[in-house]
Amino acid sequence: MASACQSQGYGVLAQHNVGDTLRSKGIDYSGQCIVFEICQPSHAAAILKADPSLASGLPCRIAVSQQGNEPVSVSMFSAEQLLREASSDPAIQRVASQVELETLQIMEMVAH
């Protein structure tokens, strides 16, 4: 994940092993799920400068999960769609479109 993120100018801020956390709480969950929080600083700064109330949508998150013998799944919510719902500001929409392209490339690299 780190090298895929770096190739697009992103960094991994944190990773959460959701599967292990659920099991540590006594929940019967046999799958694997790691959520990575990633950020491209200039994109985050542009969004925050345009509308600080969008901070709760940062950073981006990519989940890598697997259930049993199923193929590994790499997923995330669409940054473009989420920010389109949250703001009509054209500057934010431009950043969201760029984030969408870059994070899809990261996901493609992680999946292969």
Q: Where are the domains of the chain?
A: 2-111
Q: Which among 112, 108, 111, 106 has a CA at the least distance from the CA of 3?
A: 106
pLDDT tens column, 36-73:
999 999 999 999 999 999 999 999 999 999 998 999 99
Q: Is 61 helix (H, G, I), strand (E, B) or coil?
A: strand
The structure's pTM equals: 0.91
Of residues 15, 6, 112, the one with CA closest to residue 63: 15
List, for residues 101-110, the tens digit of each pLDDT value: 999 999 999 9
User: Identity (one letter) of the amino acid at 43?
Assistant: H
Could you say which of 3.40.50.300, 3.30.413.10, 3.30.70.100, 3.30.310.70 is the CATH number of the domain covering 2-111?
3.30.310.70
